[in-house]
A and B are shown apart, each in its own frame.
Chain A
């Protein structure tokens, strides 16, 4: 009986912990919104974070986008060939990239690269008392550290997604046309016929939301780090896992809403 009670107790405690964590993330998000509109804007810090989150992620996003487009063309060709509909490969790659894979894969790659770095950097600042030093110098750390990172995440993710979409379609074209022998005109024509601006906007809206998730979660985990170097490692891992899972779950609901 005691064992059952302990299991229920642990289960309940885990649920309460998760709800508490969600509450904390929400409070941090509201605090970010509040500090975002209070002057001064600290543009230099925002641009520095944009460079880190955006410019420095371009290479990995180009690679991911290109190879995803290439493999989609290969897989699509295999399926469409059964129905003699190979010319649909282009539009399939384009729709898949713009609506789904572009934003999701970009967000996951940026989470791994920049979201983890946010958690590690803020976590180190926390355990070495640099965040306390900001408080002591009458500077709000949310305004100084978190707002620039969240703005950078929300602004740069859609831009990186555009790059991923473009490179994915280009990768699909290079596999589809020169290698698999799909007619170039049919490939491009089907893309322009079947993909409209709405598909791209949906994808970019999702990307902005994913940028918000990865930056708020990364900052939250880093900002609340405890326990020295081990704590920083734990915060970084938790940030990547929580942000990635949240991105994938929210992706379903966003798609369902915008479908």
Chain B
């Protein structure tokens, strides 16, 4: 169970998170939605300890990770996988080496065994025969798939997705959404997805949380979110320029 308790975070004078409280259920996919630049990625980085809050607690399996030293934090991080917005594949390594990276770093498995796991993970994300390709030779969708294969290489409990469908065409967006659903089921994962793609939110989310002005203003099942009368949420889902969200 991941629990965010009263998280505050500012960069200089800009307050990005202003008392975020959220519980993320085990074995479910929670989607965090919100406008561009609204602090969604910042929130995600707090969950895995890439950023520390100015105040508040980030509790992962009953441990507050905010106060942990590097060594203990790394132990917690082994429970996680993360798919970055642009996949963050290592440019200097091919696909095989990218996916094998966490296995080589943290296990004593033999080369042959690692290769088998890599091939199995690549198959799970719908890729075969790309092991020797470099990241620069892959399309955006393929890079995300390889990123996902790397994220699940160590069979983590929790996978974080930072805008997994941004920059993809509608068909590839659907394919990635299906992949998130499938992977979540097969590996029994707790998933946290950051997104502002309305279509994807309802496809992949078991629970949806809306982040606005540094706070979670609405949380619930997709049905509850669809029925919500919150004017911010209504405007966000309808994409209207009229309403409390001021973009211009």
CB distance from B55 to the nearest CB of A (A): 22
Hey, which chain B residues are within 8 Å of A139, CB to CB? 101-102, 105
* Residue in A closest to B79 when the chains form the complex, CB atoms: A138
Determine if B90 and A130 form an interchain contact, defined as CB atoms under 8 angstroms apart.
yes
User: B interface, how many residues as a size bin?
Assistant: 20 to 34
For the complex, what is the distance from the CA of A237 to the CA of B183, rounded to whole Å?
Answer: 44
A183 interface contact, C-beta 8 A: no
Known A-B contacts A124-B91, A137-B77; the reply to A129 vs B84 at CB < 8 A is yes
Kindly supply a per-residue 1/0 record for chain B positions 65-80, scoring 1 wherever the CB is within 8 Å of any chain A CB and 0 otherwise.
Answer: 0000010001101101
Known interface pairs A136-B50, A136-B80, A138-B77; A129-B105 also in contact (CB < 8 Å): no
B30 to chain A minimum Cβ distance, whole angstroms, is 18
Given contacts A129-B84, A133-B82, A135-B50, contact A140 B91 (CB under 8 A): no
B21 CB-CB contact with A under 8 Å: no
Name the interface residues of A187-237: CB closer than 8 Å to any CB of B: none
> B48 within 8 Å of A by Cβ?
yes
The answer for the CA separation of A125 and B93 in the assembled complex, in Å, is: 13
Q: Do A132 and B106 form a contact, CB below 8 Å, given A137-B77, A138-B77, A140-B70? A: no
B157 on interface, CB distance cutoff 8 Å: no
Q: Does A128 contact B (CB under 8 A)?
A: yes
Q: Is A138's CB under 8 angstroms from B82's CB?
A: no
Please tell me if B88 contacts chain A, counting CB pairs below 8 Å: yes
- Whether, in the assembled complex, B200 has its beta carbon less than 8 Å from a beta carbon of chain A, the answer is no
B74 lies within 8 A of A130 (CB): no
Interface size on A, as a range, is 10 to 19
Q: How far is the CA of A181 from the CA of B164 in the complex (A)?
A: 73
Q: Mark A96-136, 1 if CB is under 8 A from B, else 0.
A: 00000000000000000000000000001100111011011
Q: How far is the CB of A174 from chain B (nearest CB, A)?
A: 41
Q: How distant is B114 from chain A, measured CB to nearest CB, in Å?
A: 14
**B81 / chain A contacts, CB cutoff of 8 Å:** 136
Quote the shortest CB–CB distance from B107 to chain A (angstroms).
12
Q: With an 8 A cutoff between CB atoms, is B85 at the interface?
A: yes
Chain B residue at smallest Cβ distance from A139 = B105
Please, which residues of chain B bring their CB within 8 A of the CB of A140? Answer: 70, 74
What is the CB-to-nearest-CB distance from B192 to chain A, in angstroms, rounded to a whole number? Answer: 13
Residues in B with CB closer than 8 Å to A130 are 88-91
B88 contacts A137, CB within 8 Å? Answer: no
Interfacial chain B residues near A125, Cβ < 8 Å: 90-91
CA distance A7 to B77 in the complex (A): 47
Distance from B127 Cβ to chain A, minimum over Cβ atoms (Å):
19
Tell me, yes or no, whether B131 is within 8 Å of chain A by CB.
no
Are B105 and A132 in contact, with the CB atoms below 8 A? no
Contact yes or no, B77 A133, CB < 8 A: no
Which residues of chain A come closer than 8 Å to B82, judged between CB atoms?
A: 133, 136
Q: Which residue in chain A gives the minimum CB-CB distance to B84?
A: A129
Tell me the smallest distance from the CB of A236 to a CB of chain B, in Å: 16
| Binary B-proximity of A132-169 (CB < 8 A = 1, otherwise 0) | 11011111100000000000000000000000000000
Any chain A CB within 8 A of the CB of B174?
Answer: no
Output the nearest chain A residue to B74 by Cβ-Cβ distance.
Answer: A138
| Residue picked from B80, B84, B88, most chain A C-beta under 10 Å | B88
Judge if B213 is at the interface, Cβ distance under 8 Å: no
Residues B82-99 near A (CB distance < 8 A): 82, 84-86, 88-91
Q: Could you list 17 examples of A-B contacts with CB < 8 Å?
A: A128-B86, A128-B88, A129-B84, A129-B85, A129-B88, A130-B88, A130-B91, A133-B88, A135-B50, A136-B82, A137-B102, A137-B106, A138-B74, A138-B78, A138-B106, A139-B101, A140-B70
Q: Which residues of B contact A (CB under 8 A)?
A: 45, 48-50, 70, 74-75, 77-78, 80-82, 84-86, 88-91, 101-102, 105-106
8 nearest CB pairs, A to B? A138-B74, A129-B88, A133-B88, A138-B77, A136-B82, A137-B102, A129-B84, A130-B88
